[in-house]
C-alpha cells in the first residue's frame, strides 16, 4: 500500500469482527444481514519496544552490536512482521554516533550509523528518540544521531535541534488516512539539562506539560489519527503508576488516539481510555542484556478503518538469549505470552473495549 510521507509539522503551538485471542481487541461481528465493513481500506500500524545497538562502552556487553556486522539481517525474522505493516515504529534507545562527550550517568549507549541501516531494513519507518539514552554522548552526539537518521531516510520524533523540532509530529498518509506521530519522555534522569529549548537541541518531555499538550493539539488539527509514543514508567514494575495514568488521560483529552509506551523493561497492559487506546509498556525488543526483567516482548498490531481503530492485538515474541533478537513466538509459548499479557490489563484501570459514541463505554467487548 503506498505511503505518502508528509514530514514534520514545525509550527507547534506554545513552543473486522471475529474471535479475539487473549490480549487483543476486535469489535463484535456485524449482525447477520447487515452491511459489511466496506468503506475505507484497512491501514496497519506496528509498534515495538526498546531497541539497542550497543557499541562496547565501559564493559557493557555488546551482543546486539555484533548484529550490525550485517545490518540487513540485524532484526532477524521479526523484520518480516514489521515490514508487513503500512507504518512501523520502535524506540531507538541509543545515541547514533562515533564521537560525542559521555554524559555523567551509569549506563551510556552508542551505536554506529549502521544502526539506521538495520532499522530501515527491518521495515521501521519512524523511531522515537524521546528517551533517557539519546543524549548519552551530549548534544554533539544528538546532532550526529539526527544527521545519520536523515541520511538513512529514517524519520525521528521526540528530539530535535530545538523545541519546535523536538515536539513536532512526523506525518504520513496511507490510503487517504493521515497519521501523526509524536515522541515524549517522562523519565526524570537529567531531564532539565537534556530538554529541548527555543534555541537548544534536546528531548521532548512530558514534564513540560503545556508544550506537550499543545503538541498533541497541533497534531490533532492536521491528522486523522494521532499517535503519542512515550518513554515512561518504573523499571521492573508491570503496572502503570499514577503519573502515567494522569498523563494518559491528559493526552487522550488533547486528542491522542493511540498512546504507546516503553521503558520498564517488561510488558505492561493495554486497553481503552474512553475512545483512546493506551498501551502502557511494550518492554524490550532488540536488546543487549539477557533476562534483566523479562525476555517476553511483541509487536502491537493496530488496524485502522479511516480514522477509527478497528482492532488491536499483541503479536508475541521472545528475545533470544544468544543474539538479542526478538523471535516471533508460536504454539504454547505464544499462548503463554498472550495469556500473561491479557492479565496485565487488570492493574491498568483500562477497559477491554472502547466507549460508545456517547462516552458510555457501551461498545461490545470480545
Average pLDDT taken over every residue of the chain: 88
Residue 278 CB-half CA count within 13 A: 28
For residues 154-183, average pLDDT: 98
C-alpha grid cell, residue 252: 487522550
Per-residue pLDDT, 356:
78
Q: What is the longest distance spanned by two Cα atoms in the chain?
A: 66
Q: What is the C-alpha separation between 157 and 229, in angstroms, rounded?
A: 9
Cβ-proximal residues to 122 (8 Å cutoff; 6+ apart), any chain = 74, 75, 78, 79, 82, 83, 88
Per residue in 21-61, pLDDT tens?
444 444 444 433 333 455 789 999 999 999 988 755 544 55
DSSP 65: G
Does the pLDDT value for residue 15 go beyond 90?
Answer: no
Per residue in 303-333, pLDDT tens?
999 999 999 999 999 999 888 899 999 999 9
Helices (DSSP H) in the chain: which residue ranges? Answer: 78-84, 114-121, 138-152, 163-166, 191-194, 209-222, 242-254, 331-343
Per-residue pLDDT, 32:
36
Does the pLDDT value for residue 87 go beyond 60?
Answer: yes
Does the pLDDT value for residue 265 go beyond 70?
Answer: yes
Sign of the CA dihedral running 122, 128, 131, 137? positive
C-alpha grid cell, residue 110: 552508542
Sign of the CA dihedral running 264, 269, 271, 273? negative
Cβ-proximal residues to 49 (8 Å cutoff; 6+ apart), any chain = 90, 91, 262, 281, 282, 283, 284, 285, 297
Domain boundaries, the chain: 3-11+40-347
Residue 115 has φ and ψ, to the nearest 5°, of -55, -40
Q: Radius of gyration (Cα) for the chain, nearest Å?
A: 19
The correct CATH number of 3-11+40-347 out of 3.60.21.10, 3.30.565.10, 3.30.470.10, 3.10.150.10 is 3.60.21.10
Per residue in 102-135, pLDDT tens?
999 988 999 999 999 999 999 999 999 999 999 9
Estimate the share of the chain in helix, then strand, then coil, as percent rounded to the nearest 5. Answer: 25, 30, 45
b/e string for 268-299 if b means 16 or more Cβ within 10 A? bbbbbbbbbbbbbbbbbbbbbbeeebbbbbbb
Residue 338 — very low, low, confident or very high, per pLDDT cuts 50/70/90? very high
361 conformational bin, left if phi > 0, alpha if psi -120 to 50, beta if neither: left
C-alpha grid cell, residue 289: 542484556
For residues 263-277, average pLDDT: 97
128 conformational bin, left if phi > 0, alpha if psi -120 to 50, beta if neither: beta
Q: What is the C-alpha separation between 211 and 219, in angstroms, rounded?
A: 12
Per-residue pLDDT, 292:
67
Amino acid at each position: 500500500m503506498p505511503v505518502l510521507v508528509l514530514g514534520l509539522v514545525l509550527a507547534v503551538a506554545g513552543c473486522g469482527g471475529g474471535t479475539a485471542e487473549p490480549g487483543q481487541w476486535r469489535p463484535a461481528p456485524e449482525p447477520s444481514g447487515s452491511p459489511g465493513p466496506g468503506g475505507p481500506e484497512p491501514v496497519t500500524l506496528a509498534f515495538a519496544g526498546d531497541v539497542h545497538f550497543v557499541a562496547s562502552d565501559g564493559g557493557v556487553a555488546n551482543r546486539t552490536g555484533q548484529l550490525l556486522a550485517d545490518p540487513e539481517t540485524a532484526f532477524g525474522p521479526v523484520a518480516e512482521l514489521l515490514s508487513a505493516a503500512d507504518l512501523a515504529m520502535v524506540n531507538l534507545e541509543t545515541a547514533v554516533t562515533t564521537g560525542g562527550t559521555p554524559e555523567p550517568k551509569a549506563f551510556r549507549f552508542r551505536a554506529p550509523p549502521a544502526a539506521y541501516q538495520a532499522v530501515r531494513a527491518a521495515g521501521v519507518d519512524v523511531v522515537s528518540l524521546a528517551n533517557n539514552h539519546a543524549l548519552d554522548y551530549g548534544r554533539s552526539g544528538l546532532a550526529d544521531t539526527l544527521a545519520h537518521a536523515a541520511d538513512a531516510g529514517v524519520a525521528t520524533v521526540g528530539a530535535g535541534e530545538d523545541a519546535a523540532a523536538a515536539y513536532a509530529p512526523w506525518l504520513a498518509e496511507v490510503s487517504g488516512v493521515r497519521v501523526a506521530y509524536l515522541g515524549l519522555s517522562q523519565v526524570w534522569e537529567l531531564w532539565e539539562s537534556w530538554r529541548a529549548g527555543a534555541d537548544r537541541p534536546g528531548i521532548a518531555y512530558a514534564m513540560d506539560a503545556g508544550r506537550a499538550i499543545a503538541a498533541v493539539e497541533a497534531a490533532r488539527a492536521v491528522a486523522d489519527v494521532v499517535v503519542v509514543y512515550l518513554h515512561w514508567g518504573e523499571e521492573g514494575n508491570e503496572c502503570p503508576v499514577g503519573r502515567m495514568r494522569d498523563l494518559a488521560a491528559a493526552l487522550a483529552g488533547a486528542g491522542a488516539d493511540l498512546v504507546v509506551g516503553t521503558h520498564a523493561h517488561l510488558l505492561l497492559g493495554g486497553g481503552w481510555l474512553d475512545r483512546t487506546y493506551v498501551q502502557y509498556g511494550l518492554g524490550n525488543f532488540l536488546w543487549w542484556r539477557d533476562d534483566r526483567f523479562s525476555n517476553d516482548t511483541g509487536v502491537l498490531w493496530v488496524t485502522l478503518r479511516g480514522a477509527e481503530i478497528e482492532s488491536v492485538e499483541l503479536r508475541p515474541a521472545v528475545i533470544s538469549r544468544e543474539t538479542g533478537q526478538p523471535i516471533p513466538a508460536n504454539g504454547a509459548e505464544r499462548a503463554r505470552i498472550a495469556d500473561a499479557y491479557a492479565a496485565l490489563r487488570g492493574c491498568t484501570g483500562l477497559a477491554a473495549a472502547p466507549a460508545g459514541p456517547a462516552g458510555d463505554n457501551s461498545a461490545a467487548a470480545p
